[in-house]
Chain A
């Protein structure tokens, strides 16, 4: 980000803020969800807190991040037909799009799981799956952040 600042017109700053800010909110929500589900050890309130973080923080963060990504890519001319796509942009798109699918699966499994746990009719397995998906997402986001920062090729 800092290196890019030399060649970045001022009009790109706000879209970049939306993109980076959204990504930070997304990672914050997923980190909270994964942490809460790991440390809960059966504490229903903390399990529900983890699911709420995924729904109320990670999901809006994802939408902001993705909208900001398209906006800044458009400003940089990366969406133009025939424009070369650097590796770091490709990594970002793959992680964002596959990540969206995983996030949606985690949200659905988490909703069913936390509802069953609240009613006392199981659901622990579904919440474990949500936790595993959240951890996978965190690893994928770490790779994407590294790519955005170091910009290989």
Chain B
């Protein structure tokens, strides 16, 4: 197993952590909307989701950029890589805003809308990673 293989595995594991965290947060936001306010246990669940999102976002970016430089035939300025970076920024930005809004009174509905946008951006990244248009 080469270094690039290890980096690919870590990139993939980070992507799974990110999607896993998004599912945790989906359940958290929906429970928050139903209950009106976060119980201590729900607060702890949000904490798990936030930590996993951070690991996933950081890992996908660092290992993804590494691979785009290291793997022959790929470059960081390839269209599909730039598209993934833009979508990554959208997913991170809207997700971060959703987290802040959810802590405000009656902000959970807007948080859910932004979390939906963030989730769709991640789905588009997955499609981009598999099809690699232009590669």
Q: Which residues of A are at the interface with B, using a C-beta cutoff of 8 A?
A: 1-3, 5-6, 10, 13, 16-17, 20-21, 23-25, 27-32, 35-36, 38-41, 43, 45-46, 49, 52-53, 57, 141-142, 145-152
Contact = CB atoms under 8 A, between A and B. Distances in A.
A35 B16 contact: no
17 contacts: A1-B129, A3-B4, A5-B135, A24-B19, A31-B20, A31-B21, A38-B48, A39-B45, A43-B40, A46-B31, A46-B45, A49-B31, A57-B23, A145-B9, A148-B12, A150-B6, A152-B1
Contact of A2 (B8, B24, B123): B8
B45 A28 contact: no
Q: Say whether chain B's binding surface is mostly helix, strand, loop, or mixed.
A: helix
Interface string B61-104: 00000010001011000000000000000000000000000000
Contacts of A20: 126, 130
Interface of B: 1, 4-6, 8-13, 15-16, 19-24, 27, 31, 35, 39-42, 44-45, 47-49, 52, 67, 71, 73-74, 123, 126-127, 129-132, 135
Nearest to A58: B23
Contact of A27 (B19, B31, B48, B126): B19
A138 B93 CA distance: 28
B23 A150 contact: no
A151 B135 CA distance: 22
